Chains A and B, each alone.
Chain A
Amino acid sequence: AQSVTQPDIHITVSEGASLELRCNYSYGATPYLFWYVQSPGQGLQLLLKYFSGDTLVQGIKGFEAEFKRSQSSFNLRKPSVHWSDAAEYFCAVGAGNFGNEKLTFGTGTRLTIIP
């Protein structure tokens, strides 16, 4: 069974600073990997996904993530955060025939932005 670990429960960064959120996964085959963001009182929204090919993927809102098979990691990065990036971020791994079924989510990392 697949699993996802997000080791940081809460991260605080200053506006304009760079950001890296960590994600480690466990899955026996090539994973389908995702980052979702959840603003307070809202559902989750897809930031970016990795299925295959280039291991550096670009997403919305200026986010990117890099798939590193050797480290079983899929860390999320942003060079300069904005106050509107404050939210909870979830990494997820997909399984199934086409990676659609049974997305398993990590426990999330809450991001706080200070002025």
Chain B
Amino acid sequence: DAGVIQSPRHEVTEMGQEVTLRCKPISGHDYLFWYRQTMMRGLELLIYFNNNVPIDDSGMPEDRFSAKMPNASFSTLKIQPSEPRDSAVYFCASSLKRGGQNGVLFFGEGSRLTVL
């Protein structure tokens, strides 16, 4: 089975530009998470979805960030406009609540964003 697939792996953009990160979760998983990893703040949960519905977006830093999950196999995290402090590695993870798999997150390889 394919794992969680994220694109792009690397993105370099200039301040003020729009950035869209994409994620394809593992087929059949009913939870999808977006995390951000920086040296200063570690791993932060930004938002998560259950069955395509956003459950908790309290970790989204500000209105410049938005996330959608239009169907079970695709999610996007958008930053508009981007700022240098958004530079980080963004991880998507998916999981399955049933079958004793609670909390077992499967992570993608991450999207490294650099905002100049």
How many angstroms from the CA of A32 to the CA of B109 in the assembled complex?
24
Q: Which of A16-24, A68-76, A78-86, A104-112 contacts B (4 or more CB under 8 A)?
A: A104-112
Nearest Cβ distance between residue A43 and chain B, in whole angstroms?
3
Sort chain B's interface into a size bin.
20 to 34
How many angstroms from the CA of A108 to the CA of B48 in the assembled complex?
22
How many angstroms from the CA of A103 to the CA of B104 in the assembled complex?
10
In the complex, which residue of chain B has the Cβ closest to the Cβ of A107? B42
| Chain A interface, number of residues (Cβ within 8 angstroms) | 25
Q: Does residue B53 face the partner (Cβ distance < 8 Å to A)?
A: no
Q: Check if A100 sits within 8 Å of B102, measured CB to CB.
A: yes
Q: Which of B61-69, B73-81, B91-99 contacts A (4 or more CB under 8 A)?
A: B91-99
In the complex with contacts A43-B4, A49-B104, A101-B42 CB distance below 8 A: no
Per-position binary interface string of chain A over residues 81-105, scored 1 when its CB falls under 8 Å from any chain B CB and 0 otherwise: 0000000001010100011111111
| Partner among A42, A90, A98, A104 whose Cβ is within 8 Å of the Cβ of B102 | A98
Contacts of B100 in A (CB 8 A): 51
What residues of chain B have their CB less than 8 Å away from a CB belonging to chain A?
4, 31, 33, 42-43, 45, 48, 50, 55-56, 91, 93, 95, 97, 100, 102-105, 107-110
What residues of chain A have their CB less than 8 Å away from a CB belonging to chain B?
32, 34, 36, 41-46, 49, 51, 90, 92, 94, 98-108
